[in-house]
Chain A
Amino acid sequence: MSAPEFVVVGHVNKGKSTIVSTLTENDTLRIDPLPGTTKEVQRIEARLGSDRVYFSVLDTPGFQDAPAAFAWMQARSKSAADRPGVVADFVRTHRGSGEFADECALLQPVLDGASILYVADGNVPFLGDYEAELEILRWTGAAGMALLNPIQEHPDAARNTARWKTALEQYFKPVLDFNGHEVGFRERLELLATFRQLRPDWKAPLDEAIEAFRADWERRRRRSAELIADFTAWAARFAQESDDAVADAPARKYQEELRSREARARRQVEDLYRHHRGASEAELVLPPAEGDIFAEQTWKVFGLSPGKLLLAGTTSGAVAGGWVDAHLGGASMGTGIAVGALGGGVWALLQSAKRLPSLRRIARSVLGKKTWSYGPHPNPQFFWLLLDRALEHHRRIRSWSHGRQDAPVLQSVLRGLESRDTGPLRTAAALLRKRDLSPAERESFVKAVHALLGGDAA
Chain B
Amino acid sequence: MEDGIARMGRPFVDLPDLLAVEHQILRDHAALDSDLRERDRRIGRRLGPAGDAARLSAWAREMNPSSGTRRAFRAASFLLVLAGLVLGAGASIGLLSLDAGRPINVFHFLVWMVGLQILLLVVLALLLLPPRLTRWIPLDFCHDVLRRVLVRIAPEETGRAQARLARLEPAIRWALLARTQAFGVAFNLGVLTAALLLVTFSDRQFCWSTTLQLKNAFFHGLVDAVATPWKALLPAAAPTPELVDLTRYSTTDGAYLHPGAGPKLAGGWWPFLLMAVAVYGLLPRTLVLAVAARGLRVALTRLPLRDDAEYSRILERLETDLPGFAAGPAGPGPDAPAAALPPGPLPGRGLSCSLVIWEGVDVPDSAIETRFGWRVGRRFKPGDPPAVGEGPVVLAPPPWEDPTTSYRRVVRAWREAVGPDRLILVFLAHPGRRAIWDQVLRRWGDPSLRVEAAG
Contact = CB atoms under 8 A, between A and B. Distances in A.
A67 B332 CA distance: 26
A67 B121 CA distance: 98
Interface string B74-100: 000000000000000011011101010
Given A68-B409, A328-B95, A436 B326 contact: no
Interface in B327-341: 327-335
A353 B160 contact: no
Q: Which of B32, B155, B400 has the most CB of A within 10 A?
A: B400
B309 A331 contact: no
A436 B159 CA distance: 7
Interface string A207-227: 001001100100100010010
Contact of A329 (B33, B99, B141, B325): B99
B159 A237 contact: yes
Contacts of B167: 439
Contact of A212 (B323, B330, B404, B435): B323
B24 interface: no
Contacts of A26: 325, 327
B321 interface: yes
B85 to A, nearest CB: 16
A40 B402 contact: no
Interface string B139-157: 0010011001001000110
B402 A35 contact: yes
B405 interface: yes
A83 B99 CA distance: 117
B194 to A, nearest CB: 12
Contacts of B163: 436-439, 442
Given A39-B332, A42-B329, A124 B400 contact: yes
Interface string B194-224: 0000000000000000000000000000000
B290 interface: no
Contacts of A40: 331-332
Contacts of A37: 333-334
B158 interface: yes
Nearest to B152: A358
Interface in A300-339: 327-329, 331-332, 335
A350 B325 contact: no
Contacts of B439: 34
Nearest to A332: B94
Contacts of A32: 334
Interface in B357-396: 358-360
A45 B160 contact: no
A383 B334 CA distance: 48
Interface residues of A, number: 79
B360 A65 contact: no
B332 to A, nearest CB: 6
B16 interface: no
A252 interface: no
B334 A34 contact: yes
B406 interface: yes
Interface in A25-68: 25-26, 29-30, 32-50, 52, 54, 62-68
B123 interface: no
Given A24-B327, A30-B333, A35 B403 contact: yes
B166 A439 contact: yes
Contacts of A24: 325, 327
A307 B324 CA distance: 59
Contact of A43 (B322, B328, B402): B328
B43 to A, nearest CB: 14
* Residues of B in contact with A, size category: 35 or more
A234 B332 contact: no
Nearest to B167: A439
Contact of B93 (A267, A331, A438): A331
A47 B156 CA distance: 37
Contacts of A335: 90
B68 interface: no
B409 A42 contact: no
B326 A44 contact: yes
A444 interface: no
A26 B327 CA distance: 9
A264 B30 contact: yes
B254 to A, nearest CB: 15
A454 interface: no
Q: Looking at B333, B403, B404, which has the most chain A CB atoms within 10 Å of its CB?
A: B404
B432 interface: yes
A48 B334 contact: no
A48 B322 contact: yes
Contacts of A256: none
A367 interface: no
B284 to A, nearest CB: 23
B402 A12 contact: yes
Contacts of B330: 29-30, 42
A128 B401 CA distance: 13
A129 B406 contact: yes
Interface of A: 11-13, 24-26, 29-30, 32-50, 52, 54, 62-68, 102, 121, 124-125, 127-129, 152, 154, 209, 212-213, 216, 219, 223, 226, 230, 234, 237, 261, 264, 267-268, 271-272, 274, 327-329, 331-332, 335, 350, 353-354, 357-358, 436-439, 442-443
Closest 4 CB pairs of A and B: A49-B321, A40-B331, A331-B94, A64-B405
